[in-house]
Copies of this chain bind each other. A is one copy, B any other.
Amino acid sequence: MPATIRDVALLAGVSPSTVSRALSVPDMVNVDTRARVAIAVERLHYHPNRAARGLITGRTGNVGLVVPDVANPFFASVVKGVQARARRDDIAVFVADTDEEPAVEAGLIRALAKQVDGLVLCSPRSSAEDLAAIAEETNVVLINRGVMGVTGIRFDDEDAMRQALAHLVALGHRQIAWVAGPDASWSNQHRTVGLRAAATARDVELIEVGNFAPTYEGGVAAADQVVATEATAVVTYNDLIAIGLLSRLHARGISVPDDLSVLGVDDIEMSRMAIPALSTIRLPQQRAGQIAVETLIGLITMPEAVPPILRSNALTGELIVRNSTGPAPSPKGRKRSP
């Protein structure tokens, strides 16, 4: 049975309220009273019951994090970032995995909302209306998703695509394929738009294939369509797709990057382990999680400090060059299997 504040008070020979003060506003209590309390706390291994405290202060000291799939390395990194930042402020985090099912999502979020001070949401699937509604009820920070009136942390997809294209163009590529991710995905839309703009600006031919699932299997499925184009390089919606692509290309005897350059987006752990190691645009996932928590803490402690409409923050990606991108083959040099 854990010690209560009364146990501590008894042992220290003071009243419960003094103990409470000694712990939360030390300045307001006499130095040696404080010391006596400290000793009692120590001896009893006392930790305040957060639920009880929350009941009265209205703050739980907890935040919730909702992700579609913790086993997806992209989200795993976000979780890590959230964790790290939350721990610094002694905040505990509820994690909910929606299993990619939007139906589950709504219910889970409601349930969580009751016991946290705020929510970090990675919800590529939920509707903007649903998200806005939740943001009415509790503090919410969205990751990688823009919804009017809701605070969000996003990646600068347009810039990422600009960097991707700059790299490939510098290598001599002029015909570049784009393997699109899920049609409904917010970031897929932004990446597609960004890539088109960059392609026009640099006068390269963009060949779009897809949409494909943002998974290894999606990449495997996309490979043959990519090969069938005239492209000498391909940019994929994410690294998982790129890795699937690599696998199928290998099976078909197409050499990367000699025959075809492959460039992913995300820089998940796995990417540097691929053969060949995958060039990619690194999106700072952990950092996004950290900033999300930071923003959330701001929202919780000073709700009025930020203007309510579109407080968005874009994190820029970073080009990581590994071995899957190389110079464009000369037209006759291309030796793809027939």
User: Is A144 an interface residue when CB atoms closer than 8 A count as contact?
Assistant: no
User: Is A202 an interface residue when CB atoms closer than 8 A count as contact?
Assistant: no
User: Is A2 an interface residue when CB atoms closer than 8 A count as contact?
Assistant: yes
A87 partner residues in chain B, CB cutoff 8 A: 96, 104, 108
Interface residues of A in 263-300 (CB under 8 A from B): 269-270, 272-275
With an 8 Å Cβ cutoff, the count of chain A residues facing the other chain is 49
User: Is A334 an interface residue when CB atoms closer than 8 A count as contact?
Assistant: no
Tell me the smallest distance from the CB of A30 to a CB of chain B, in Å: 28
Tell me the smallest distance from the CB of A125 to a CB of chain B, in Å: 17
A96 partner residues in chain B, CB cutoff 8 A: 83, 87, 92-93
CB pair A71 B60 closer than 8 Å: no
CA of A216 to CA of B73, assembled, Å: 15
User: Is A49 an interface residue when CB atoms closer than 8 A count as contact?
Assistant: yes
Which of A15-23, A36-44, A111-119, A305-313 forms part of the interface with chain B?
A111-119
CA of A246 to CA of B244, assembled, Å: 17
User: Is A9 an interface residue when CB atoms closer than 8 A count as contact?
Assistant: no
**Residue-by-residue, is A221-235 near B (CB-CB < 8 Å gives 1, otherwise 0)?**
000000000000000
Determine which of B76, B97, B110, B275 lies in contact with A246 in the assembled complex, contact meaning CB atoms within 8 Å.
Answer: B275
CA of A84 to CA of B100, assembled, Å: 12
CB pair A71 B73 closer than 8 Å: yes
Determine which of B95, B99, B108, B250 lies in contact with A275 in the assembled complex, contact meaning CB atoms within 8 Å.
Answer: B250
Determine which of B52, B71, B111, B273 lies in contact with A216 in the assembled complex, contact meaning CB atoms within 8 Å.
Answer: B273
CB pair B243 A273 closer than 8 Å: yes
CA of A269 to CA of B246, assembled, Å: 16
CB pair A94 B97 closer than 8 Å: no
Tell me the smallest distance from the CB of A7 to a CB of chain B, in Å: 14
User: Is A79 an interface residue when CB atoms closer than 8 A count as contact?
Assistant: yes
CB pair A76 B71 closer than 8 Å: yes
A336 partner residues in chain B, CB cutoff 8 A: none
User: Is A55 an interface residue when CB atoms closer than 8 A count as contact?
Assistant: yes
Determine which of B80, B92, B111, B115 lies in contact with A112 in the assembled complex, contact meaning CB atoms within 8 Å.
Answer: B92
CA of A270 to CA of B47, assembled, Å: 41
CA of A87 to CA of B55, assembled, Å: 24
**Residue-by-residue, is A67-96 near B (CB-CB < 8 Å gives 1, otherwise 0)?**
001110100110110011001001011111
CB pair B111 A92 closer than 8 Å: yes
CA of A244 to CA of B272, assembled, Å: 10
Tell me the smallest distance from the CB of A17 to a CB of chain B, in Å: 19
User: Is A29 an interface residue when CB atoms closer than 8 A count as contact?
Assistant: no
